[in-house]
DNA sequence: CGCGTTTGCTTGAAGCCTAAACTAACCCGC
DNA sequence: GCGGGTTAGTTTAGGCTTCAAGCAAACGCG
């Protein structure tokens, strides 16, 4: 039973010790994933304990705040999630009185979502805290490193986007 | 209402156009998140269509393959997920005949998970494909960029880890 | 020895998420 | 106008995930 090391071991550490091949890319991917997961988990935790909300709810409010009234489909595309997902999320947020639905008279298939006044207030509080949390988590990175990282991630995104394109074609 | 732009818009593009403050870090975080999400979504999709499996299942098999027999708790720590999560995952994988549970005679609270022969074969196939997919997605990045990105992500991880530490103390 | 604590795992309730099937509304061309 | 195709949104089934509560085994210490 391998007395089993008890300290927390992150996925990357556990996985990265493999032989040769494309292991280079694999290590990069694991580190990217681990980093994103660490931040995401912490943000979810803080949203839960400090605001009794969740990341998807917060994200949906953020879309409405920044892009004005949106259809469900618009939110779905922006959040990169499925249509059905947004339906459920919107239902819950509406029930909580943070957003409201309004059917588009000109095209009755569509409905636009918008923040209620209460939703605006609530999101403003959450958003300010959120911005601070992110700043705090990345504070250990120099400004130059942040810029460099941002640039390299841009290239990574382009690489991935390109690969996805080719696949479709 | 708002004829609504129809092209896909990723979260980052949609969110990053905000005023001043700690927006620097926020933009970095959004790009990091978007990049990771793009890869993850594609990997999930390919696992589903090519192997009729899911990412968490694959990850659990990967842990067992690379770290030998593990307790549920060991898997939980390595995968950075909750205990209850692993219970359900293990139940499904056991039902599919890919792993087996074995109670530790010396400590009957513990049970070790290990791959069955069929699990080993299945994972070997999936793993080879997975490695290729990752290489493909990051192929547009030069070796130098990959190294630099890996290094910067290491610093980001350290920054985040540090912030989490302080919080606890 | 015995009792309180810790540890490993399971359960239950709730929410998130997807793909696929479906409904309703719109559009287009005849 | 009307039928075929498209688009917006909902529903359903299934899986993933968490937290919190709970149970049983083991530990530790008086």
Q: Tell me, what's the pLDDT at A12? A: 54
Name the phi and psi angles at A17, rounded to 5: -95, 65
d(CA B117, CA B108): 25
Closest to A18 (Cβ–Cβ): which among B42, B66, B134? B66
Q: Can you tell me the mean pLDDT for A22-51?
A: 93
- Position B8 in a domain: no
Q: What is the pLDDT of residues A81-123, one digit of tens each?
A: 999 999 999 999 999 999 999 999 999 999 999 999 999 999 9
Give Cβ neighbours of residue B96 (< 8 Å, ≥ 6 apart).
Answer: none
What band does B14 get if pLDDT is binned at 50, 70 and 90? very low
Check: CB of residue B93 under 8 Å from CB of residue B61.
yes
Same domain membership, residue A119 and residue A167: no
Closest to A149 (Cβ–Cβ): which among B18, B62, B156? B156
Tokens 């979260």 belong to residue: B11
Check: CB of residue A141 under 8 Å from CB of residue B155.
yes
- Position A7 in a domain: no
The domain in which residue B146 lies consists of 142-169
Same domain membership, residue A131 and residue A55: yes
Q: How many CA atoms lie within 13 A of B66 on its CB side?
A: 20
- Position B17 in a domain: no
Helix (H) or strand (E) holding B42: helix B23-51
Beta bridge partners of A100: A114
Q: What is the pLDDT of residues A92-103, one digit of tens each?
A: 999 999 999 999
- Position A12 in a domain: no
Shortest alpha-carbon distance between residue B95 and chain A (Å): 22
B134/A32 touch (CB, cutoff 8 Å), yes or no: no
Same domain membership, residue B124 and residue B45: yes
Same domain membership, residue A77 and residue A63: yes
Q: Verify if strand D has an atom below 7 Å from the CB of B85.
A: yes
- Position A18 in a domain: no
- The span from the first CA to the last CA of chain A, in angstroms, equals 49
Higher pLDDT, A5 or B28: B28
In the A/B pair of chains, how many CB contacts fall below 8 A?
239
d(CA B25, CA B31): 10
Give Cβ neighbours of residue B12 (< 8 Å, ≥ 6 apart).
Answer: B27, B30, B31, B33, B34
Q: What is the pLDDT of residues B89-120, one digit of tens each?
A: 999 999 999 999 999 988 999 999 999 999 99
Same domain membership, residue B118 and residue B103: yes
Farthest CA pair distance, chain A = 67
d(CA A152, CA A147): 9
Number of structural domains chain B divides into: 2
Buried b / exposed e along A152-161 (16+ C-beta atoms within 10 A): bbebbbebbe
Give Cβ neighbours of residue B38 (< 8 Å, ≥ 6 apart).
Answer: A157, A160, A161, A164, B10
- Position B164 in a domain: yes
Same domain membership, residue B154 and residue B117: no
């Amino acid at each position: 039973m391998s007395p089993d090391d008890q300290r927390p071991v992150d996925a990357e550490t556990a996985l990265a010790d493999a032989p040769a091949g494309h292991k280079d890319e694999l290590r990069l991917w694991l580190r990217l994933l681990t980093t994103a997961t660490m931040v995401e988990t912490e943000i979810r935790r803080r949203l839960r304990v400090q605001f009794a909300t969740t990341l998807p709810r917060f994200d949906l409010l953020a879309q409405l705040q920044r892009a004005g009234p949106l259809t469900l489909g618009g939110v779905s595309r922006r959040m990169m999630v499925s249509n059905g997902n947004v339906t459920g999320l919107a239902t819950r947020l509406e029930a909580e009185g943070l957003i409201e639905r309004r059917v588009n008279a000109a095209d009755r298939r569509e409905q636009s979502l918008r923040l209620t006044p209460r939703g605006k207030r609530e999101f403003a509080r959450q958003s300010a805290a959120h911005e601070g949390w992110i700043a705090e988590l990345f504070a250990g990175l120099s400004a130059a490193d942040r810029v460099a990282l941002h640039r390299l991630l841009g290239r990574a995104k382009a690489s991935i986007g390109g690969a996805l394109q080719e696949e479709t074609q």
